[in-house]
A and B are shown apart, each in its own frame.
Chain A
Amino acid sequence: MKTTIKFLFVTIALGLASCSSDFLEKDPYGELTQEQILQEENLEALIIGAYSILNGQIDNASNAFNSPASNWSFGDVVSDDAYKGGGGTGDQNNIHQMEIFTTNPAIIDIERKWKALYEGVRRSNSVIKLLNETGDITATVKEQRLAEMKFLRGHFYFELKKIYNRIPFLDENAISLSDFEVSNTELSEEDLWGKIEVDFNAAYNSLPAAQEQTGRPSKYAALAYLLKVYVYQKKWGQALAVSEEVIQNGGYALMDNFEEVFLPENDNGSEIIFSIQQTINDGAPNNYNGAIGDRLLPPGGPRYPGYGFLRPTQNLVNAFKTDVNGLPTLDNSELTVSDNVDARIDFTLGRPGIPYKDLGILYEANWARDLASYGPYGPKKRVLSANSSFYLPVWPYVNALNYYIIRYADVLLWRAEALIETGDLEGARIIINKVRLRIQNGSKIMTLDGSEMAANYSVGVYPVFTNYDQAIVALQTERRLEFAHEGHRFFDLVRWGIAEDIMNSYIASEKNIRSYLNGVNFVGGKHEYFPIPQSQVDLGGKDENGTLLITQNPGY
């Protein structure tokens, strides 16, 4: 009997221990290991992953509109070009707070945008680190891919710099999570710009003049971006030199018709220097590879969902008014139907009575959502025709039009600006006129029956710039009209140092029709930059003295 019990215990004990030692080892399905990723084709896919973050879609949530690559909220709504729009001031109230300059560091957009850009930094850094470590890839490919990743990293830091100003800098050696605890005031403004310049210079040196795959930046894209970096620093001499080379050797050209620039068929065309590639119906769930950050922009009406965000201001509409010579009137008086107007207006925004795209119908005031709060106008420039096969007529109503980070008109007008700043008013005039001539000569919006122009379009060229002030105002106006609703306006105002003046005078007049602007005040020295996200301040770590590493921007 006793032996039986012993035997039993032994067998049971064996049975209990029968689970083999790997029973508690479970490996994830569908994941590559740290070793596998170093193979060339896998590294190439990792590089694709870095490009993927350009559009601001950082996770599987549907709110990329909090971190839009197009900066419609960060660059347009907070400027004199656009109202937030939507179903009232409470709809996306966070963006409303930004619009009325009660921005606070806890606003979700502030955090999501920061996250999206630093995700880009992290992904590019990760590739750079792995490329530097591996020998599994041919040297030329490696050099080129390294350059591409530095281009991307330069882009993300540029965006961070222009939005948040005082930013922590991480390079590819930041690996462990504790490496991410970095001060945002350690580097001087000059040093930070220097880091960005280094990346674009490196990209310029190693990238080919043209890329086989158009989604990758070329040598001249890097140079054009370097130009942008110089312009933002007012390094006019370098800007002149660099812009010369881009114009001479880049092989870029303005398209004949302004309208065509914003068609997906041309979104890697001669005018496009670097853009974010967007696709629809590509097999991805929810079509997040489309222009997902702009998904609240469809203007309403019979063919679009009425999200109704990004609404042109009366001030912007008025800015298109031209005089008898076809030049901007600059007085911002109310545009009436009989006035002369720059033809770009009806490619840029929806106006009642003007045909909308190729839909065969007129835009009407009742397309616009919450007229009482946001007026009758709707966005148009980066909205595609509802008939286009590149527009997705189902949720999330995105399109496949690339977002242009830099297009050739940018380079031209930056060069013109550099010429003005260095005293060559005539050189600048020629370039500005070049941009205007495209409009003068290009196609216009016609009435529905095609019999005549839909409005009194009149675009003239500047005969002469007699002084700096006239020239710089002409340049600034031209940038506004050419790039309206492309996410640049606010950052231009800031770098020109006129944000406070322009915004406060805009608010003073606009509040008469948009009552929610009553009492709104742009505070100079504060509102030029957005606050550092509160979570970054809180979780960003402390130094050895227990002081927070992150310093909030002034005024917040």
Chain B
Amino acid sequence: MKKFPILRNFNLFMFVNKLKTSLITLFLISTVIQIEAYADINKKSKTNFEEHNIFAHKKHFKEIVFDKNVSIQSIVTGKVTDSNGVPLFGASILEKGTNSGVTTDFDGNFKINTKDGNAILVVSYLGFQQREISLAGQTNLSIILEEDSANLDEIIVTGYTSERKSDLTGAVSIIQVDEATDQPLASVNELVQGRSAGVEVLRSNAPGGNAAIRIRGFSTVRNNDPLYVIDGVPTTTGINLINPNDIESLQVLKDASSASIYGSRAANGVVVITTKKGKQGKIKVAYDFYSGMMTAMQLPKLASASQYGNGLWKAFENDGITPSNDVYGSGNMPIIPPFLDADKTIPSTNINWLEALFNPASITSHNLSFSKGTDTSNSFFSLGYFKQDGILKYTGFDRYTFRANTSFNVGSKIKVGENLALTFSNTTDSNTNTLLGSPIYDAYRMPSIAPLRNTSGEFTGYPLNDIQNPVGNLFRNKDNEDKTLRVFGNIFAEVDLLKGLKFKTNFGLTMSNFSSTNFNPTYVEPNVQRELANLTKVEQNLMEWAFTNTLNYTTTIKDKHTVNFLVGAESIESELETLSAFRQGFPGNDLNFQILAAGDAGTQQNNNGKIESSLVSYFGKANYSFDDRYLASYTIRRDGTSKLANNKWGTFSAASFGWKISNEEFFTSDIISMMKLRLGWGQNGNQDIPPYVTSSGFLSDPFNSNYAIDGGQNVVFNGYILSRNSNSDLKWETTEQFNIGLDLGLISNRLNFTLDYFNKETNDLLLERNLAPISGGTNSAVWDNVGTMKNHGLEFGADYRNDANKEFQISANLNVSVIRNELTSLNEGIDFVGIDASSLRNNNFDQEVSRTAVGQPIASFYGWVADGIFQNQSEIDAHATQSTGTSPGDIRFKDINNDNVVDDKDRQFIGNPHPDFTTNLNLNFEYKNFDMTLFFRSSFGNEIYDLTRYYSDFYNLSSYNKHSRIADAWSTENTGSSVPRLSLNDPNNNIRPSSYYVKDGSFVRLQSLQMGYSFDQKILETLSLSRLRVYTNLQNVFTITNYEGIDPEIGLQNYASDNRNLDIGVDRAIYPPSRTFTLGLNIAF
């Protein structure tokens, strides 16, 4: 938050001017195209059958021979439609055991001559499950084919174009999103969780919390979030504001060869999302609903009032001090008094503060959509409402979404359309996973003897410590809302210039307004109070536009060579403005006073900041396929960014090759139906740094540049300071990735395997490196290209789906990821990358627990090695000197450098937050009308730095509650304990950062268990419905883990900082996952 004396207004005309030339171009193009199209329509208006099947798999048709000369026994007519009643044109109908077959016409109708009236018809259609139908005398059939999502030849939206899945040469994960509407999923990122090898979702369990996605590990030390491309518009913000029900398809581009077309910002992978469009046929109305209850689970067992008191007395005893405490009295035993204070207003109790913090909470989602498509237009319209109350009291999240997607075909050559999403969200949340200010961590620390309320019914606290009643804290925060209004969408036009040549222009826009109210009321608790209320209002406006123009040419030469060329250009501009205001001193705490005008004008503060950045890119891509056997692809992209100075431009390229071995003549296998080898290499640029770091100037910073030079008591003079250390030679960070993959399909592609190995190296890592502290404290870092990081790993996926004709349907998906991360080099003079002091202060109590150093994975734990507990004095004497006060029961720390003294030189890397491997398993069963889904997730070998033990295990922070494990602390009678002796003085400094805090975070979790029932067609017909399904779902069914904290899935730290990648896996009392039971309903008609 910087204060800027000079303000430049956003000028709409400037913006329009920048676009002007482009818009004129667009107009010219469309005019030309219209003329061209008019001529074309007059020339030929016949339908081209070939075109419809341009992506059809040739091998499919090999088996079908159209033989018109069979003896006529029986004539059967029928109609083939999809489950929505849309006719399927070109479906093949084959009489089983013969070579006799036909295809359906435009209306899905067919007529076939069969040998006899009991023949079996095999009905198949690209993208649908094949069906076998016994005629049993029927002569007029109505055949409905179910969509087959596992079908190999899906059309996949990749970079600016679409490809057949079978033609993919990169590592692309296709997420089955049609399951989304069948499950209670709150956000897009949940949709991705566990569905794809190499894609990790770091959860935030808070309502509306934005989970983060990591694709193939941490490739840089800063922002590792992937790029999202939604209907062709790139974005990195507001992902939790997308309604998952609006998503038609979602692909994760994992390797450089697939992602590189997106160039800058794609180094962390790309999530490509296409939202729903209207489909041909009658109007479809769908309503999806679920509602459920969430409860907190597996909360740690904190010390009871007597456990805490007994521990305190034990600590006094160990320190040789006569026990005495203002609450627990003095004497041989701690006494639990009726009241904690002399005035007898704070009654003693034995409360579990963590349990007091949580309550069961409801979750509800409604989604209503309408869609329709015709030959010339299609439209989709949806309304969504999602509400999740926090299990943490007085918190919650509401989301209202609206989407309208339409497109029109103008003539046969031009298509124009728009996709628009409006979202409004409202969040009341609280700090978690940070040690300072987190009510959850405060609940760890508040002694159990302290009651929730005093005798007057007001929130109260413990007279001997400085923490606010955590429930009171949440209550006081209950009206503080963060509201976001976001407009996200695009308008586009596609023009078929010539056969195979398509021009597309796309203008995407993100506008979002974030507005927050933070009112802090007055209160008085025993040792903490706020005598004046204060209010902070923040407004943040983001505007980002992306203008993309592409030309795409596809042609097939001599039936064997298919080529596709793409050229394009894209410009992106982003502007973020923040406005904040503050006052204190309000007439009361009531809601109607929570407006700035009610506060003391003399205390007002305001602030305003604005940042801008822009990107320009030119790119080209060529795909070549020979005989559907050999595939090759080459991409080149040149990006320019406003964030760099002397090295604005970067050029990045990628190449990949695919070999469909199973399409070779020599390949004959009854078991293996598909086999493809993929090879890819590519580069991606990254310029995700704050703007302006390549230059420096002078600015006023209200935190540390002003001074009362005239001796005043409440007036300061504005001062200037150097804005930053600049580095004009900063250049693009480049991620280079090699990928080799094998796809295997067995049993008619019902069993598929995918195996990928990747090696990703990020060079010229962009990092704000710390300077020696002699450079001062205000500008003590400089942006630089500092080193290289390597990720390599194996991804394995297996997918099975049994015969579609079986009554009992099983499908299973297993994926396994193994990723190894290592920082491979840093520039001369830099030994490691750490997090800055202010984060250490607020989030670690100044403890340095993580370092990112050469030869180690990012964010490795760092500290002393705890090597058990000293059992007696002779063990202490035999060991290197730790402290003169070291006693039996203290932790033995390893003397790493063997100098016979344990000091700060004896620290080393003590743990790794990254898993050895992760696996996910999805099991789906369907029997008749019933369906059931089981979703297991697991992680093995990751470690957690349990920083909650800082206060919970040590009595040198004596006025705070402990974990119940202190009841088992080491003593002469209990020598087997792993918890060190209790001490107020802690002469051995047991509390220091060490492997004592490092715990195994492996787990196996049944993430989701779901059972559904779909009503019969007959019932549906009487209700005029096309679908009716009810289901129940249970999230977080069970977790098997040895970890004693709230949850082994720590996720990312909650403080908004890029440091969050540098201290992953540190448990600072996270928002607990909830066990959620929901009932859901899917209706369509």
Contact = CB atoms under 8 A, between A and B. Distances in A.
Nearest to B436: A62
A15 B316 contact: no
Contacts of B721: 46, 49, 52, 123
Interface in A45-62: 45-54, 57-62
Given A88-B958, A115-B776, A288-B703, A306 B466 contact: yes
A149 interface: no
A394 B782 contact: no
Pick the most buried of B648, B717, B777, B846: most chain A CB atoms within 10 A of its CB: B777
B885 A518 contact: yes
Contacts of B700: 30, 45, 49
Contacts of B954: 90
Pick the most buried of A58, A90, A114: most chain B CB atoms within 10 A of its CB: A90
B691 A213 contact: no
B605 A285 contact: yes
Contacts of B709: 48, 51, 213, 215-216, 277
Pick the most buried of B529, B723, B950: most chain A CB atoms within 10 A of its CB: B529
Pick the most buried of A11, A123, A539: most chain B CB atoms within 10 A of its CB: A539
Contact of B720 (A48, A393, A536, A539): A48
B41 interface: no
Instruction: Sort chain A's interface into a size bin.
Output: 35 or more
A279 B714 contact: yes
Given A19-B18, A115-B780, A282 B716 contact: yes
Nearest to B710: A213
A248 B772 CA distance: 44
Given A106-B904, A366-B463, A515-B319, A122 B775 contact: yes
B986 A12 contact: no
A312 to B, nearest CB: 19
Contacts of B884: 518-521
Given A19-B571, A48-B707, A88 B498 contact: no
Interface in A90-126: 90-94, 96-97, 100, 102, 104-106, 108, 111-112, 114-116, 118-123, 126
Nearest to B847: A93
B841 A63 contact: yes
Contacts of B841: 61-63, 66, 108
B503 interface: yes
A14 B25 contact: yes
A14 B691 CA distance: 28
A305 B529 contact: yes
Contacts of B704: 52-53, 57-60, 288
Contacts of A36: 697-698
Nearest to A539: B772
Given A26-B691, A62-B842, A279-B714, A5 B498 contact: yes
B850 to A, nearest CB: 14
B838 interface: yes
A96 B984 CA distance: 12
Contacts of A91: 957
Contacts of A289: 706-708, 716
Interface stretch (A73-81, A370-378, A427-435): A370-378
B987 A30 contact: no
Contacts of A88: 955-960, 984
Contacts of B571: 19, 23
A108 B837 contact: yes
B493 to A, nearest CB: 13
Nearest to A90: B956
Contacts of B342: 366
Contact of B987 (A12, A267, A518): A518
Contacts of B503: 8, 12
B773 A51 contact: no
B776 A60 contact: no
Nearest to A49: B719
A285 B580 CA distance: 11
B958 A30 contact: no
A62 B838 CA distance: 7
B8 A394 contact: no
Contacts of A308: 466
Contacts of A8: 29, 32, 497, 503
A24 interface: yes
Contact of B6 (A30, A61, A366, A539): A30
Interface stretch (B134-142, B606-614, B908-916, B1016-1024): B606-614
A89 B530 CA distance: 26
A14 B705 CA distance: 48
Q: Is the interface of B mostly helix, strand, loop or mixed?
A: loop
Q: Is the interface of A mostly helix, strand, loop or mixed?
A: loop
A476 to B, nearest CB: 29
Nearest to B884: A519
Nearest to B834: A535
Interface string A133-175: 0000000000000000000000000000000000010100000
A300 interface: yes
B708 A282 contact: yes
Contacts of B986: 89-90, 516
Given A4-B32, A63-B838, A372 B21 contact: no
Contacts of B780: 115
Interface in A238-283: 264, 267-268, 277-283
Interface stretch (B57-65, B288-296, B321-329, B1003-1011): B321-329
A42 B708 contact: no
B958 A373 contact: yes
Contact of B713 (A37, A58, A400): A400
A63 B839 CA distance: 10
A283 B642 CA distance: 34
Nearest to A43: B720
Contact of A168 (B29, B770, B774): B774
A29 B609 contact: yes
A33 interface: yes
B26 A52 contact: no
A289 to B, nearest CB: 6
Contacts of A277: 707-709, 711-712
Contacts of B642: 23-26
Contacts of A58: 704, 776-778
A323 B782 CA distance: 60
B645 to A, nearest CB: 9
Contact of B959 (A59, A370, A390): A370
Contacts of A369: 464-466, 527, 959
Given A62-B842, A281-B602, A37 B698 contact: yes
Interface in B793-843: 829-831, 837-838, 840-842
Contacts of A50: 719
Contact of A23 (B18, B321, B605, B720): B18
A340 interface: no
A91 B991 CA distance: 11
Contacts of A284: 605, 702-703, 706, 716
A515 B985 contact: yes
Interface in A1-38: 1, 4-5, 7-9, 11-12, 14-20, 23-34, 36-37
A468 B172 CA distance: 87
B720 A282 contact: no
Contacts of A214: 710-711
A8 B782 CA distance: 46
Contact of A516 (B528, B705, B772, B984): B984
5 contacts: A37-B697, A58-B778, A306-B527, A372-B984, A535-B773
Interface of B: 1-8, 18, 20-22, 24-26, 28-29, 32, 36, 316, 319-321, 324-326, 342, 463-466, 497-498, 503, 527-532, 534, 549, 551, 568-569, 571, 573, 582, 584, 602-605, 607, 609-616, 618, 640-643, 648, 691-692, 695, 697-723, 725, 770-778, 780, 782, 829-831, 837-838, 840-842, 845-846, 848, 883-885, 903-904, 950-951, 954-960, 984-987, 989, 991-992
Given A12-B25, A66-B841, 4 more contacts: A180-B772, A369-B464, A373-B985, A393-B531
